[in-house]
Amino acid sequence: GARTRARAARRSAPRSACLVRPSSLPREMELSGLSSVVLTSVLAVAKVMFIASGGLMLARRGVLDRPTRKKLSEVTFRLTLPCFLFSQVATSVTAGTAIKLYPLPLAATVYVALGALFGRLLAHAARAPRALRGVLMCACALGNSNNLPVVLMQAIVHMGSELLQPSGAGEGGDEGASLRTEAELEAAGTAYVGAYLSIFSFLLWSVGPVLLMSEDNDSASTVANEHRAKSMRAPDAREAGDGEADWGESDAGGLQRALTRKQSDMDLEMVGLAHARSEGGSQATESADVRFVIHEDEIEQLEEVHLLADGAGHEGSTASDTLALPGTPTPVQGRAPMVARSFARDCAKFVRRAITPPVVAVVLGVLVGTTPLHGLLVVKGAPLRVFFSAVSTLGQAAIPISVILLGANLSNGPDYTAVPLRLAAGVAISRMVLLPLCAIALVTATSRYTSILPDNDPMFKLVLLLEACCPTANNVVMMTSMAQRNEGSVSTTLFTSYVIAPLCLSVNISIFLLIIS
């Protein structure tokens, strides 16, 4: 009787219940989670591409032509971007959160250093021309960390906020594991991006121009270095009597002719610059100022070379007098003040290039966030809250304008005569393959073996990883546009990076979400 009842119960059981194997449930859940991750990453990247397509369309129709893009870049550089950075940094970097957020500025420094190293190795391995070495280092070191991570983070929150919830959230755990709303996740992610930008923006607008313009002084530096080397070898040649006793006179003449040609080219450019200023008035000031700063640097190096030439001639003509007078300073001792002056000029040149509106905005944001000024400007009900609110509203325009300009700058397509395809592809691989792999290794090792990163905060790790996978910053194009040099090479490099960015970003974001969730 018992066997008959059991057999009858099995026959009456629903067939669907028998078809579902318990071991298949975790696999189905895993596939569902993977598809959700991939869909979230693809939609996030697609959102950025749709915004950029607006700028591409306007550029193709002639609305955003090159002069208009340049002026719009200056508006972003001098107004909207500083307002955005100031509001984000002043809100995120406070005296209470500075301890928690310090890994983000540290990561910015590490990422920039690794990117510059990859760019240097790429230039050496591919035997890049001297004029492109600074461009390659800058393109590999400086990623799109201002707007693209924010847009991607917001899209990920909207498409899959459940992937960013702390572990144990909603299961009746402690208060720290409570579910976060989309608004709370966006606020936390924006604060983390702002903390990252507190150092990255300074590096972007200080290191970036130095790298981009480093090749401008190569010709004068090469002449100076060759002259130094020959001046050190000249005494030995004269002592050996190998027929080079009049080296100082002959080489100084050749050096003087090279300097004369260099100075003539600079004079022609300065005459054209003055003519453009007289005709265009205030409308031609910005690019002229940038070019004039560059010429000042060249003039400083030319002055140094002139001093070396004069020193060489003096050594050649008064060598016997120097040996005859014990108290006379040697040529090496005479160069010490010149080296000190050159070092002081280099320091002043770096500071002059580094003090830009975005850097000033970051410094002011840190000052407001970590001092009692935070209570006067930022908190709700503050006496000067209306001022901070106006600045924040202006800053909200920075991200859309930057993405629109990105699409407009890509409208002309690549010019692989300005930079070879292998170099442009190498920059893309360095930024969107090698650097994300390094970031994954760093974040994983730091989470497992140290307590530096906050516990149970997937958004914190997501921002750290997103900052490492973005292509080259479109602000690099803004720098070259304002300086009117290397525009073709940088634009082609960005075009190549952003052509493969949808695929690389989708894969990277999928891996990131699998790691943190």
Q: Is 62 helix (H, G, I), strand (E, B) or coil?
A: coil
For domain 32-170+178-216+356-516, which CATH number applies: 1.10.10, 1.20.1530, 1.10.1330, 1.20.120? 1.20.1530
d(CA 33, CA 35): 6
Q: Is 143 helix (H, G, I), strand (E, B) or coil?
A: strand
- Helices 247-280 and 218-240 cross at an angle (nearest 10°) of 170
pLDDT at 354: 65
d(CA 213, CA 218): 10
| Tokens describing residue 85 | 């950075």
- Helices 398-409 and 81-92 cross at an angle (nearest 10°) of 130
d(CA 494, CA 476): 9
Q: Is 472 helix (H, G, I), strand (E, B) or coil?
A: strand
The H-assigned helical ranges of 283-434 are 285-317, 319-324, 331-354, 357-369, 373-377, 385-395, 398-409, 421-429
Task: Specify the residue for token string 């000249």.
Answer: 234
Q: How many CB atoms lie within 10 A of CB 480?
A: 22
pTM over 0.85: no
pLDDT tens digits, 8-25: 555 554 444 444 444 443
Tell me, rounded to whole angstroms, the distance of Cα 284 from its chain centroid.
27
The secondary structure of residue 209, as a DSSP letter, is H
Task: Specify the residue for token string 């205030």.
Answer: 282
pLDDT at 188: 81
Alpha-carbon distance values, 96 to 118, 447, 455 (Å): 36, 22, 17
| Tokens describing residue 25 | 């449930």
164 burial class (0-12, 13-18, 19+ CB within 10 angstroms)? buried
pLDDT at 232: 52
Q: Is 57 helix (H, G, I), strand (E, B) or coil?
A: helix
pLDDT at 163: 80
Is the C-alpha dihedral spanning 431, 437, 440, 445 positive or negative?
negative
pLDDT at 12: 54
386 burial class (0-12, 13-18, 19+ CB within 10 angstroms)? exposed
pLDDT at 202: 82
d(CA 55, CA 402): 10
- Residue 143, strand partner residues: 472
| Tokens describing residue 272 | 């054209």
Amino acid identity of residue 516, one-letter, is: I
pLDDT at 454: 84
pLDDT at 353: 64
pLDDT tens digits, 332-384: 555 677 778 888 887 777 677 667 787 788 789 889 988 999 889 988 888 99
The secondary structure of residue 433, as a DSSP letter, is I
Tell me, rounded to whole angstroms, the distance of Cα 309 from its chain centroid.
39
d(CA 471, CA 65): 24
Among residues 242, 239, 220, 218, the alpha carbon closest in space to that of 309 is found at 220
Mean pLDDT per 10-residue segment, the chain (517 residues): 56 45 45 67 80 90 89 88 85 77 91 95 91 89 85 83 74 60 82 84 81 60 50 48 41 49 51 48 42 45 48 46 50 68 77 74 86 89 92 90 84 85 94 96 92 86 93 81 74 89 90 87
pLDDT at 115: 95
Query: Is there a contact between 491 and 477 (Cβ–Cβ < 8 Å)?
Result: yes
d(CA 516, CA 279): 58
Q: Is 446 helix (H, G, I), strand (E, B) or coil?
A: helix
d(CA 184, CA 159): 15
d(CA 377, CA 382): 6
